[in-house]
Amino acid sequence: VTTRFQSAAIIGTGLLGASLGLALKERRLAEVVHGVGRRQSSLDIALERGAIDHGHLDVEAAIQTADLIVICTPAGSVPAMLDLVLKSAKPNAIVTDVTSTKRTICTHAAHTWPTPRRFIGSHPMAGSENFGPEHAVSDLYDGRYVLVESGAGLDDAAHLAVIALWEAVGAIVSDIDPAEHDRLLARTSHVPHIASAAIAMLTHGESDLRPFAGGGFKDITRVAAGRPELWRDICLTNSDSVSKTLDDLMSVLQQFKDAVAQKDTDQLDRLFEDGRQARLDVFDQDAGDAS
Amino acid sequence: VTTRFQSAAIIGTGLLGASLGLALKERRLAEVVHGVGRRQSSLDIALERGAIDHGHLDVEAAIQTADLIVICTPAGSVPAMLDLVLKSAKPNAIVTDVTSTKRTICTHAAHTWPTPRRFIGSHPMAGSENFGPEHAVSDLYDGRYVLVESGAGLDDAAHLAVIALWEAVGAIVSDIDPAEHDRLLARTSHVPHIASAAIAMLTHGESDLRPFAGGGFKDITRVAAGRPELWRDICLTNSDSVSKTLDDLMSVLQQFKDAVAQKDTDQLDRLFEDGRQARLDVFDQDAGDAS
């Protein structure tokens, strides 16, 4: 499997795109990296950081020679971008994306792209509440999980190439069906993010809460500082799982509320113990991590 | 205001108590520190760490000569401890506590202690999901906020001494009425903690979620790894505010759910932007902090 590309195009030079550009350059995985942005000012930062070699405001100009195309725009814009890439890219180009929901996007590709398909969806578990090429780092993907689409109808070589790409920038790849991906991510990411925003909103109308907000509040609400349009798109492209999981969350909160109202000591112990155990189960290897 | 004590007694030598002992010793704020534990094994760790000079399994023996008594047991046990301290301590001893709820405890003291009262409630915004004297550090309170009870009926000298004590171990003191404290802390701490546990529980029944759990999930659920009995006591001693705030949280989550179900882009943008702004409002001075 080749992980060296003559020409790579990164559509969207934000944190994820520009960091991938830096990693491709630093690890010599692409000879030339083209970047596409919506604003020249953002492209200029990516150019200055060395994340891309050439900046483009026009997608078709940027991708026409590319062997690798990585769509790094918000989830809502990816279906239209897939249409454009299918129309303008070289037929043997390998195409992937980096968005946090997969079912809507992979279904769109399955319905519109030829089989076997050379677009393979990806979701790197990287990024933070920071965004923009100014925060890009070449090791963003190092040691992170990247979830790569699996299923019928995919081009085997393209699938292997996408996996090899992420491994080449240091990531640990896990294959997953897009619908199952979205069901699980609603639980581990999308609804937790909504809850983080909702918890931050509990402080509305209060003044000078800084003395009352400790490390717990700070950690819990950290992701609420993220970009609204990113999370709006995630909700819209995974609405079924997000809705269902929000119901599940409200149901657990209602159990806590009932136990508090009834001053049910045993039930409160059980609920907090369940939460503690669930947290330790996910991060058992990090149980001693005090960070 | 004196911040040097001949003899200090710390009732409960867990993380908060043993860290206070270390700070008192290191800063020479107390000549002798007595520690009270429920188990000898825990006292032995506190002794070995140098957090206390003498370990006691019996409260009355430990406090009889103390000028300063700090109750560091879980919230649920503090009222009974206040009764015992009132009965056995020197009449001029200064007494405080470190629990995360204040109204139940301060009301109990107001009803049972003589006026002007020499028990002044405290709540240091310190601690973590770690617990036990093995995690104690002498700088736990350094740069942290400590919320100190204010209101009528308090002994002025004792009030100033408690404030001076926390400032002497490096903390920033903020005075607050106990009921207002509990109302605000339900929003910034108690309900966020419940939500963290509830979010962790969304992973129940799923296996091997590690690849799907990123930094957001890890941060949001960190405090869910805390000690169940501590948080159960917090819920039980602040049940009114916790119940009301849980209703508020579920109401905001329902707004998100409605917007997701209706695919209401503008409303989702507004909600996420509200969450983002609320988070930045609390931590405005830390807005650039990527941690």
Interval B161-183: pLDDT, tens? 999 999 999 999 999 999 999 99
CA distance A279 to chain B (A): 5
CA distance B66 to chain A (A): 30
Please name the residues in contact with A169: beta carbons below 8 A apart, sequence gap of 6 or more.
Answer: A20, A23, A24, A27, A29, A141, A142
Tell me which DSSP letter residue B119 carries: B
Q: Which of B232, B132, B190 is nearest to A220 (CA)?
A: B190
CB contact under 8 A, A188 and B252: no
Which tokens belong to A174? 């896990």
Question: From edge to edge, which strands make up the β-sheet containing A94-97?
Answer: A54-56, A30-36, A5-11, A68-71, A94-97
pLDDT of A93 reads 97
Residue B10 bridge partners (DSSP): B35, B70
Distance CA A52, CA B106 (A): 62
CB contact under 8 A, B221 and A256: no
CB contact under 8 A, A278 and B250: no
A153 C-beta neighbours (distance < 10 Å), count: 12
Model confidence, pTM: 0.91
Taking CB atoms and an 8 Å cutoff, what residues of chain B touch A271?
A: 197, 201
Taking a contact as any Cβ pair under 8 Å apart, which residues of chain A between 218 and 257 contact chain B?
Answer: 218-226, 228-229, 231-232, 235-236, 239, 242-243, 245-250, 252-254, 256-257
Please report which confidence band the pLDDT of residue B283 belongs to, taking 50, 70 and 90 as the band edges. confident
Rounded to two decimals, the ipTM of the complex is: 0.91
Taking CB atoms and an 8 Å cutoff, what residues of chain A touch B147?
A: 211-212
State yes or no: cis peptide before B116, omega within 30 of 0: yes
Taking CB atoms and an 8 Å cutoff, what residues of chain A touch B265?
A: 232, 236
CB contact under 8 A, B232 and A193: no
CA distance B130 to chain A (A): 7
Taking CB atoms and an 8 Å cutoff, what residues of chain B touch A183?
A: none
Which tokens belong to B109? 């003291």
Phi then psi dihedrals of residue B5, to 5 deg: -120, 140
Task: Say which of B129, B172, B198 has its CB closest to residue A249.
Answer: B198
Taking CB atoms and an 8 Å cutoff, what residues of chain A touch B212?
A: 125, 145, 147, 181, 184-185, 188-189
Number of A–B residue contacts, CB under 8 Å: 324
CB contact under 8 A, B211 and A278: no
Pair A69, A63: CB distance under 8 Å = yes
Decide if A213 touches B, using CB distance below 8 A.
Answer: yes
Distance CA A196, CA A219 (A): 9
Pair A59, A36: CB distance under 8 Å = yes
pLDDT of A207 reads 84
Interface test with A, best of B272, B277, B284, B285 (most A CBs within 10 A): B272
CB contact under 8 A, B276 and A225: yes
Q: Which of A22, A105, A130, A119 is nearest to A70 (CA)?
A: A119
For A31, the 3-state DSSP assignment is strand
pLDDT of A3 reads 76
Please report which confidence band the pLDDT of residue B2 belongs to, taking 50, 70 and 90 as the band edges. low
Taking a contact as any Cβ pair under 8 Å apart, which residues of chain A between 124 and 163 contact chain B?
Answer: 125-126, 128-130, 135, 144-145, 147
Taking CB atoms and an 8 Å cutoff, what residues of chain A touch B225?
A: 276, 279-280, 287
pLDDT digits (tens, 9 = 90+) for B239-278: 999 999 999 999 999 999 999 999 999 999 999 999 999 9
Q: Which of B244, B237, B96 is nearest to B162 (CA)?
A: B96
Find the helix packing angle between B239-261 and B178-185, rounded to 10°.
Answer: 30
> Judging by beta carbons within 10 Å of its beta carbon (0-12, 13-18, 19+), is residue A159 exposed, middle or buried?
buried
For A218, the 3-state DSSP assignment is helix
pLDDT of B1 reads 57
Decide if B194 touches A, using CB distance below 8 A.
Answer: yes
pLDDT per residue, tens digit, chain A (291 aa), is 557 999 999 999 999 999 999 999 999 999 999 999 999 999 999 999 999 999 999 999 999 999 999 999 999 999 999 999 999 999 999 999 999 999 999 999 999 999 999 999 999 999 767 789 999 999 999 999 999 999 999 999 999 999 999 999 999 999 999 999 999 999 999 999 999 999 999 999 898 899 999 999 999 999 999 889 999 999 999 999 999 999 999 999 999 999 999 999 999 999 999 999 999 999 874 444 433
Taking CB atoms and an 8 Å cutoff, what residues of chain A touch B246?
A: 253, 256-257, 260
The phi-psi region of residue A99 (left if phi > 0; otherwise alpha if psi is between -120 and 50; otherwise beta) is beta
Q: Which residue of A has its CA nearest to B221?
A: A279
CB contact under 8 A, B184 and A265: no
pLDDT digits (tens, 9 = 90+) for B126-167: 976 778 999 999 999 999 999 999 999 999 999 999 999 999
pLDDT digits (tens, 9 = 90+) for B178-232: 999 999 999 999 999 999 999 999 999 898 899 999 999 999 999 999 889 999 9
CA distances from B47 to A242, B29, B37, B54, B68 (A): 51, 18, 11, 7, 19
Task: Say which of B209, B245, B253 has its CB closest to residue A249.
Answer: B253
CA distances from A176 to A98, A151, B69 (A): 14, 8, 58
